[in-house]
């Protein structure tokens, strides 16, 4: 527990520094690094990391997405996907003797899905500016991590019925419900704190609390789906943790598995139901 608390403290300190420099390329670099490490962890877990050209393909695309402009990306998406498919099948043909289609497909999926999800943090910054981007990033991370924390303690106190006994034996239905309630209760105080900090820095923003309360349970459930989805991959490939980069927590994906789903969920939700209504 002590090791986990130390690692969590260091992680939160790094997160605070990153949020401060959100308007700089340092933020893009951090998102790119997280994406690359997460992709490599997935490739290692699924035993597809021995194909160096596929690894390079995944890493380069992760970097491209993290530093790209979302407007250009979406407008050129058919071209990008077509080029990626061409490269994918060229690499498959080159390694046809040892590389199975299923393995290559996993590499393709991971190299697209993971960086796109994490890069939503960059897209929110680009679209809504520093103050808005910071808040939406906090919503994405808080809905994942607060739910995880609330579910952990609720499960310890009230947990009786297993949620997914094979995939994640320690998770309970009671814990999951407690996690959603815990997150929903804390989102408004977190928003009020953010508004005060922003005001001290000379930035005025206004938050629609009803919308925030309406979307928080959905985001919490999406985060749990991300957690379970990454867990089922570990179970199917007999892997305990995705890595050891964070002592007591495992790898990047072990810590950001929920956020991998909540960040794009926030990005999609706010296109139709923005939480910040004035600035």
Tell me the pLDDT band of 11, cut-offs 50, 70 and 90.
Answer: low
Per residue in 173-188, pLDDT (tens digit) is 999 999 999 999 999 9
Cα 92 from Cα 90, distance rounded (Å): 5
How many other CB atoms sit within 10 Å of the CB of residue 200?
A: 8
Decide if 270 contacts 247 (C-beta within 8 A): no
Q: Is 194 exposed, middle or buried (0-12, 13-18, 19+ CB in 10 A)?
A: middle
Tell me the pLDDT band of 7, cut-offs 50, 70 and 90.
Answer: very low
Question: Which residue is associated with the tokens 């305990």?
Answer: 240
DSSP-derived letter for residue 275 is S
Q: Coil, strand or helix: which one is 274?
A: coil
pTM of the model: 0.88
pLDDT of residue 22: 79
Decide if 242 contacts 41 (C-beta within 8 A): yes
| Structure tokens, 110 | 């991971």
Domain residue ranges of the chain, discontinuous segments joined by +: 2-278
Decide if 108 contacts 84 (C-beta within 8 A): yes
Question: Which residue is associated with the tokens 């994640």?
Answer: 168
Query: Which CB contacts under 8 angstroms, 24+ apart, belong to 125-129?
Result: 125/22, 125/23, 125/27, 126/69, 126/70, 127/70, 128/270, 128/276, 129/279
pLDDT of residue 24: 80
Per residue in 49-92, pLDDT (tens digit) is 777 777 787 788 777 777 766 777 777 778 877 887 888 888 88
Per residue in 101-160, pLDDT (tens digit) is 888 888 888 888 898 899 999 889 888 888 888 899 999 999 998 898 888 888 888 878
Q: Which of 58, 71, 76, 34 is nearest to 257 (CA)?
A: 34
Question: Greater confidence, 257 or 80?
Answer: 257
How large a percentage of the chain has pLDDT more than 90? 27
Q: What Rg do the C-alpha atoms of the chain give, in angstroms?
A: 19
Rounded to the nearest integer, the mean pLDDT of the chain is 84
| Structure tokens, 68 | 């790209």
């Amino acid at each position: 527990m002590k090791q986990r608390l130390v690692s969590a403290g260091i992680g939160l300190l790094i997160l605070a520094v990153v949020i401060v420099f959100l308007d700089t390329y340092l933020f893009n670099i951090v998102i790119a690094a997280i994406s690359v490490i997460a992709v490599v962890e997935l490739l290692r877990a699924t035993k597809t990391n021995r194909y160096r050209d596929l690894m390079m393909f995944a890493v380069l695309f992760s970097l491209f997405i993290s530093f790209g402009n979302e407007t250009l990306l979406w407008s050129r998406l058919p071209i990008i996907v077509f080029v990626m498919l061409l490269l994918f099948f060229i690499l498959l043909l080159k390694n046809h003797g040892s590389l199975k289609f299923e393995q290559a497909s996993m590499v393709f999926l991971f190299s697209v899905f993971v960086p796109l999800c994490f890069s939503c943090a960059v897209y929110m910054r680009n679209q809504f500016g520093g103050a808005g981007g910071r808040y939406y990033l906090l919503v994405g991370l808080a809905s994942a991590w607060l739910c995880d924390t609330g579910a952990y303690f609720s499960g310890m106190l009230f947990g009786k019925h297993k949620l997914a006994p094979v995939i994640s034996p320690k998770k309970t239905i009671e814990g999951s419900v407690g996690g959603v309630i815990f997150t929903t209760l804390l989102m408004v105080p977190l928003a009020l704190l953010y508004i005060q900090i922003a005001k001290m820095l000379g930035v005025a923003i206004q938050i629609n609390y009803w919308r925030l309360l309406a979307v928080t349970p959905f985001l919490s459930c999406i985060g749990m789906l991300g957690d379970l989805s990454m867990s089922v991959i570990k179970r199917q490939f007999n892997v305990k943790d995705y890595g050891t980069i964070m002592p007591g927590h495992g790898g990047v994906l072990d810590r950001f598995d929920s956020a991998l789903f909540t960040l794009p969920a926030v990005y999609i939700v706010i296109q139709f139901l923005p939480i910040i209504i004035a600035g």
